[in-house]
Amino acid sequence: MTFEKNVLAKISLPILLISLPLTSMSVLLPVFTTRLGLTPIQVTGLFSVFSLGLLIFRLIVGYVSDKVGRKPIFILGILFYVVSYFVFYKATTLPLIYLARGLQSIAAVFISISTFSMISDLNGKNNAYNFGKLGSYSEKGGLFGIALCFAFLYNNKLVVGWANLFFTCSVAAVIALVYSLFNIMETKSINNNNKDNIVKFLLPSNKMKIALFNLVASIFTSVVSSIFVLYLQARFDSDLLEIALAFILPTMIIAFSSPRIGTISDNIGAKNATTISLLLLFITLLVIPYLENIYLYGVIWTIYCIALTMLNVTISSIFVEGIVEETKGSAIGQLSTATNIGNTIGPIVGGLAFQNIGLKAPYLISSLGFVILFSLSLKNLKHPTP
């Protein structure tokens, strides 16, 4: 087994274990908090709190990962997940839910920076494939998590099922922590650090354009993702089972097709992959508000998720090309910071539009945003040279 494949294989189990509740949380968290009496703004605020936590820590964690290596950052990320899931297990009040969500956001920073930097360190020719492979580990964990949700919530009160789910997830995260301490491989040569490069590092103009593009795209994606469950409940009067059925199709497809999506992106080129995915995002978001059936909604939402996955792996792939080893963590931290600025703004916009304008407003706003990005990408988004 090559070093590249060995690194990816070693991180697969811990990523799967810590991802158990992550997919279902986008459905379960709004349902649980709405049951506790939160307003739409308070519910979407949980998504902004998550992104704000990411925003605060990303630059710092990226810098530290260049100093101490990827493995210690990865281990700390799993430790934060252990604590976060335990707080979720005990959470029945709004302050505890916000605390758990904040800890989860810190954990996500450590894991995303370390894993993205690991892939970047490999200097492989199939970056989009590798990013897709990483995403598939998380999505497969999410699939197992959905099964756990059904097991714990079936014939149980929501509060009881919630507690059982997160106790199990905290135990799984502990297992991931122990496994990672002994098995995760360091991919960065610490002795090659150049402190001046790290301190003075600024993104070159082509990378800055990619980061700015990702910021804007993240606003429009998070506008709709933050009101996903609220929309289904209001539009179709859906219960938790119907929402889960509409949600599970894209989850299953992305879990097993992300590497293939990455391979397609590598083969057709970054500009083609970007323009195709933006066009699909525009069309699907324009169509969704006019669908009359929740299961048809699930099909169109699946196409949306495939397009979004292609966009994400493509942007990640072209961004890491040409970045020197000593500053990869810092560079990825800056890209992620831009993304999370968008993910902080988007849920606020989505919640306000949903509550004050109408059910269709978040989708139409995002659709308009993506058609603008599509038009701009035809002229301006070029594959960066290393």
The reported pLDDT for the residue numbered 53 is 57
Task: Tell me how crowded residue 267 is: count the other CB atoms within 10 A of its CB.
Answer: 12
pLDDT score, position 74: 94
Measuring CA to CA, how many Å separate 331 from each of 58, 174, 386? 10, 30, 14
| CATH number, residue 343 | 1.20.1250.20
200-216 per-position pLDDT tens digit: 456 777 888 888 999 99
pLDDT of res. 385: 40
* pLDDT value of position 323: 74
Structural domain containing residue 13:
3-184+195-380
In a domain, 316, yes or no: yes
Asked if residue 20 is part of any domain, the answer here is yes
pLDDT computed for residue 333 by the predictor: 80
Rounded average pLDDT per 10-residue block, the chain, 386 residues: 76 92 78 69 63 67 84 94 94 82 87 87 74 86 85 76 90 96 80 46 78 92 86 77 73 85 89 92 95 88 93 88 73 82 85 89 95 82 44
The whole model's pTM is what?
A: 0.75
What confidence score (pLDDT) does residue 269 get?
Answer: 87
Q: Per the domain annotation, does 189 fall within a domain?
A: no
- What per-residue confidence (pLDDT) applies to 193? 47
Asked whether residue 310 is assigned to any structural domain, the reply reads yes
At 382 the pLDDT is: 47
Domain membership of residue 37 (yes or no) is yes
Count up the domains in the chain and report the number: 1
